[in-house]
Each structure stands twice: as structure tokens, then as C-alpha cells.
Amino acid sequence: MSAAGLLAVVLTASSGRYGYHRDELYFLASSKHLAWGYVDQPPLTPLLVRAMTVMDDRSLPLLRVPATLAAVGVVVVTALMAREFGGGRRAQLIASFAVVASAVVLGAGHLMGTTIFDLLVWATLCLLVIRLCDGRDPRWWLAVGAIVGIGLQNKTLVVFVVAALLVGILSVGPRRVLRTWWLAAGIVIALGIWAPNLWCQASNGWPQLEMSRSIAAGVSGTSSSRAEFVITQLGLIGPLLIPVWIAGLWWLFRSPSSKRWRALGIAYPILFVVYFGVGGKAYYLAGLYPVLLAAGALVVSSWSGRGRARVRLAVVAIAVTSNAVIAAVLFLPVVAPSRLPGSVITAVNYDAGETVGWPEYVSQVATVRDSLPDDDRGSVAILTANYGEAGAVERFGGRYGLPLPQSVHNAYWSWGPPSDAAAAVITVGFQRNELRDVFARVDDAGRLHNAIGLNNDEQGASIFVCRGPLEPWSQLWPKIRRLG
């Protein structure tokens, strides 16, 4: 398929530019502590990272191969949805190229993270529901169960789309698809696949619920206000393709030929209201846009085939191409890093700034370590405020002989505190007043800075050299945990 192949080439060609994202550094660390679950995520993405690092633990392009494949899968599934809706070759091409040109697929497909796999799970789930609502073999419920189970091992958000689709089917039909034992079998499969992670969460006091409350409170770097949540929906695909997915939503709601699939249209406003109400991140809705683009492609295909067909097709092609160019500049590492400071790119795309500067930051931590007296240098510990800082030290610190870091953030906290025997603790990212509650002595050792002056989350973060923990670490550690 031409659109899928084009996306694979673009993502592969750009995968080695800039550097690791903070989440990728975290997944690298998590992959060394494989478990059935973590305080902030299920195990699938760290497991995939582990598979890549077994082959080469230093290759960023290799690390991102699963994300590229997942993005290609989203394109293929979207074209299949357009075909299931009754669209011909033109509609399928429009749907697939619209997905390739979308900001969220380019941005998520470029990084090795949970979002792109979530997009693929949601799109595949919608495809299977389309087939079931079309009166296909009820044994498709087994595939639904498998996809939902796999999705739950990546992100628990799939629960919400399942609930929304169920409400849609109960509200507008076709309800007959629920009257089968194959549905029960699918539920058993989903629960069976999810069970290890579910048990892990239950046995640890459901930490992901606490994590969800932290995100809703806005502590995450990608958290958004409710106004931003609404505005971002207009940019997840791209401004020039808004008419396509809006047309798809209209088609699912209003077209007589889409009546049996109306539940898919109902799911979008349900999830919009839910995520808006609970303070969910703006991109949480991204998984439903492929089905809206697939439906919208039918409307656009019909419109472009009437009257002055060549002119209308040219308009569609220009809109898709222009949207793709805008999305690529904003969400792929196209612009030289030196041009990022003060640019619209980092203002729109938070993640771009989080892929710059990590090796420099680690070098600066190593410089602080090297400035310590010989007696302290041999038993120093490194403690960071967030997992990006810790992941960077773990990834790049070996070249400087730095010790493995500790962090109070998310799963890093679970891997334990510094040693009580550490003569000095180099801290990164904390405020002085926080450290005074932990250490008897806190000495300023500088601030992190990147060479290009990019104002990302780490630029200007404080470095301190601390001595004399006020209590044993076994008592201090539970008091300084951070989730978000």
C-alpha cells in the first residue's frame, strides 16, 4: 500500500535525528526491570523495548522500529475501515493518506512510546466492531477479546473505548451482535490476557489509579487545561483535515447507509465528555480519529467525484499534502536543533524539546562528580527528581563512570533509594527547600544547560551536592515519592 510504505520510509529516515525522548529513556530503564506492571503503565512497551535492546542497546533507530510498524498498521487498518464502510479505491486512498498526513500519527509514530500502540489497538478494535455490526461471523468477538487484552497490556485507556462502544451499541444498535456466547468467550480472552497486570496492580494497591489522579491534577508535562483539551482536538489530525473527520462524524450520525455503524459515531462524543470531565490528556481521544477519517474519506470521495472532478481531486490532494508538510515540520525532526529555541515547533509540540540535550546534561553531572574530593567521589550517589533525568544518566553515564541513578519519580522509586553508605548525593532537578527536609547540608553545584539554549523541562534545573541524610533512606524514601 503506497501510503503505508511512504510513512514507513519517512519515519525510518527521521528516526535517528535529535535524540531520545525522556519517555524512551524511561522505557530503556524499565526494560531492565521487567514486570507484569509498573506504577504508571502495563508491561507491553518496556517488553518491546527489551526485545530491541537485546539486538542493539545503543541504536535509537532500532529502538523505534516497533513504533514505525505500529504507525504503518494504523494506516492499513484505516484503509480497511474505509473499505468496510463501502468505500472504493479512491476512498481508501484518501483515508490512508489522510492518516499519514495527520499530526498525531507522525508524532506518535516517531517515538517509541505507548501512544502509537494505543492508536493501533483502538483502530483495530473499531475495524472489528464494524465487521460485527455488519452482521459478520460472531466469532470475531474472539479477535475483539484478544485485541482488548493486548491493549490493556499497553494502556488501560482501552477500557474507555470498549465502554463507549458498548453504550453506543446498546443505544442505537445493532443489539443483536451482543446476543451471542462468542461475546462471553471474547471477554474471557481479554481478562485472561489482562490478568497478570491486573493482579500486579491489585497486589500493589492500584497505583495506576493514584497515577490517574495525578495526571488529572495537571502534574504531567503533557497535561492540559479543559480549554486546551478542546482546542487540541482541532490539531491532533491537522487544521486542513478537520473537514474530513468532521464529515466522517456527520456520516456516522446522519447517513442512512451508516445506520448499522452509528455506535461508532456515538462513542466519540461520549469519550469527549468523559475525558473533558475528568481532566484527561488531550491526545487520549486520538484513537478514534482513524475511524472518523475512514468515514470522512467516503464523503470526500463522493464529493470529489462529482462535477469538476479533477479540480476537486486537486483540492483534496493539496489539502492532504499541505497538512502533511505542516505536520512533518512540527512533529518530525526536520528542522535543525539549533533553530528550535523560540520557534513555533516547541510551542506546539512539547515532545520535540524533550528529545534535545540529554547527553550534555549527563556530562554536566559528571563534571560535578569530578569536582568532588577523592573520598567522596568514590562513593557518590545520583538522585533525580524525574525519570527523564535518571534515564539519561543510566543511558549516557557509563562513558563517565557514573553510578546507576536513583529517582523519586514513578517506577524509578520502586527500584530503591541511594545507599546509606553514600558519602555524597548529587541531586538533579530538585528545589533547595525540598532538599533541606532530607539532608543536613545542601551545596549549590550549578544548573543544567544545553548548548542551543532550548527552554525544555530540564534547562536550568538545579544540581546540588548533598550530605548527611536526616534519616536512614529506608525511612526517607516513602516520604519523597512522586507520581505524574
Give the whole-angstrom CA distance, residue 119 versus residue 81. 14
- Structure-derived torsion over alpha carbons of residues 200, 201, 203, 204, reported in degrees to the nearest 10: 120
Cβ within 8 Å of residue 337, ≥6 positions away: 18, 356, 452, 454
Q: What are phi and psi of 463, to 5 degrees?
A: -115, 130
Can you give the pLDDT at residue 104?
96
| Contact call for residues 24 and 112 (beta carbons, < 8 A) | yes
Can you give the pLDDT at residue 311?
84
Give the whole-angstrom CA distance, residue 324 versus residue 95. 13
Q: Per residue in 56-68, pLDDT tens?
A: 999 999 999 999 9
Q: What is the pTM of this model?
A: 0.93
Tell me how crowded residue 285 is: count the other CB atoms within 10 A of its CB: 24
Q: Per residue in 181-208, pLDDT tens?
A: 999 999 999 999 999 999 999 988 888 8
- Burial profile 223-249: b = 16 or more Cβ within 10 angstroms, e = fewer: bbeeeebeebbebbbbebbbebbebbb
- Structure-derived torsion over alpha carbons of residues 405, 222, 16, 346, reported in degrees to the nearest 10: -120
**Where do the structural domains in the chain lie, given as residue ranges?**
2-337, 358-479
| Contact call for residues 146 and 249 (beta carbons, < 8 A) | no
Can you give the pLDDT at residue 278?
85
Cross-strand bridge partners of residue 383: 406, 427
Cβ within 8 Å of residue 241, ≥6 positions away: 98, 101, 102, 293, 319, 320, 323
Cβ within 8 Å of residue 176, ≥6 positions away: none
- Structure-derived torsion over alpha carbons of residues 445, 450, 452, 457, reported in degrees to the nearest 10: -110
Q: Which residue has the cell 463522493?
A: 302
Sign of CA dihedral 94, 97, 101, 103: positive
Can you give the pLDDT at residue 478?
94
Q: Which residue has the cell 540529554?
A: 358
Give the whole-angstrom CA distance, residue 367 versus residue 383. 15
Give the whole-angstrom CA distance, residue 241 versus residue 264. 20
| Contact call for residues 358 and 40 (beta carbons, < 8 A) | no
Q: Which residues of the chain have pLDDT under 50?
A: none
**How many C-alpha atoms does 28 have within 13 Å on its Cβ side?**
26
Nine cell digits for residue 32 = 531492565
Q: What share of the chain is helix, strand, coil (3-state, %, to 5)?
A: 65, 5, 30
Q: DSSP for 391-441, please give it.
A: HHHHHHGGGGTPPPPEESBHHHHHT----TT-SEEEEES--HHHHHTTEEE
Helix (H) or strand (E) holding 358: helix 358-370
Can you give the pLDDT at residue 222?
59
| Contact call for residues 468 and 426 (beta carbons, < 8 A) | no
Can you give the pLDDT at residue 472?
95
Q: How far is CA 484 from CA 191, 218, 354, 410, 416, in A?
A: 27, 8, 16, 7, 18
